[in-house]
Amino acid sequence: MKEIISTITKDYLYRLIKEGKRIDGRDLLEHRELDVVVGSIGPAEGSARVKLGDTEVVVGIKMDEGEPFPDTPDQGVVITNAELIPMASPQYESGPPGEDATEVARVVDRGIREGGVVDTSKLCIESGEKVWMIFIDIHVLNFDGNLIDAGGIGAMAALMNTIVPASDFEHGENYELPLENIVIPTTFTKIKDTIMLDSGLEEEKIADARLTISTNEDGDIVAMQKGLSGTFEYEDTLECIELSQEIGESLRQKVIEFVEEGKI
């Protein structure tokens, strides 16, 4: 089912955007307020509840022993899944993940995988036989736009909060999941010719195109995804990359602070 939007809201949004304003009073390149609470889910090895404005997601990490893939016998496995559950929006239906959920999961996964967040070679228990599997599950509780950033930040914070349950499997003491990098996605949307950061639901409904850029600690680009049927100019993408490096860094510091708070 598709989201619908009334013509009057649509026209209002267009008029605002023409003046460089947004429906919630933010600047074009301003994120909504971010709040992350880590470790709130007891049974999970790591977890994070993220609020990005009214968008709310909870990400849980579960770990298990499993068989490695035949072509990577000494590397652990990371699997990311996203569920757009019907409680989050009247537009969502129950059932297997649709293409929107698949896209969110795969874009978040790409950032974590390609950004080298988890060194999978450290997750090997017995080469070719047993490795650690990390399952990242993103549950959307309230949908108010920009699931990729909320999910990506949540996945990152949850991983930073993860304790490897080694003792449950008789592999010695539990220990913190070693991470190599912190990757942050930033999503821009283009409405008419205006580019803005972190669109809310109403803005997302009228967006022409969407661009997610994930950057790592060094400011390198590790994943990108253009979505929706509109286009971006090449020059736009360069501008977005620069913004993403800058905004990603400030978000990264915030995420680190939130994770530290959770440890106390």
Partner 1 sequence: MSGNKDMELIDENGKRLDGRDLDELRDIKIEAGILKRADGSAYIEWGKNKILAAVYGPREMHPRHAQEPSRAVVRARYNMAAFSVPDRKRPGPDRRSVEISKIISEALEEVVFVEMFPRAVIDIFIEVLEASAGTRCAGLTVASVALADAGIPMSNMISSCAAGKIDGHVVLDLGKNEDNFGEADVPVGMVPNTNKLTLLQMDGNLTKEEYEEGMEMAMKACNEIYDIQRDALKTRYSTTLEDQEEIDEDISELQEGE
Where do contacts with partner 1 occur on this chain (CB under 8 A)?
1-2, 99, 102-103, 105-106, 110, 113-116, 211, 216, 219-234, 237-238, 241-242, 245
Q: How far apart are CA 229 and CA 207, in angstroms?
A: 9
Least distance (Å) from partner 1 to the CB of residue 87?
21
**36 within 8 A of 153, measured Cβ to Cβ:** yes
Nearer to partner 1, 7 or 170 (CB): 7
* Helix/strand/coil for 256: helix
Least distance (Å) from partner 1 to the CB of residue 84?
14
Both structure tokens of 184? 């942050």
Least distance (Å) from partner 1 to the CB of residue 147?
14
Least distance (Å) from partner 1 to the CB of residue 141?
22
Nearer to partner 1, 248 or 262 (CB): 248
* Helix/strand/coil for 238: helix
Least distance (Å) from partner 1 to the CB of residue 256?
21
Nearer to partner 1, 173 or 218 (CB): 218
* Helix/strand/coil for 38: strand
Strand partners, 210: 189, 227
**115 within 8 A of 183, measured Cβ to Cβ:** yes
Least distance (Å) from partner 1 to the CB of residue 218?
8
Burial letters 198-231, b for 16+ CB under 10 A, else e: bbbbbbbbbbebbbbbbbbeeeeebbbbebeeee
Nearer to partner 1, 129 or 220 (CB): 220
The end-to-end CA distance of the chain, in Å, is: 43
Nearer to partner 1, 186 or 225 (CB): 225
Strand partners, 136: 61, 80
Nearer to partner 1, 72 or 142 (CB): 72
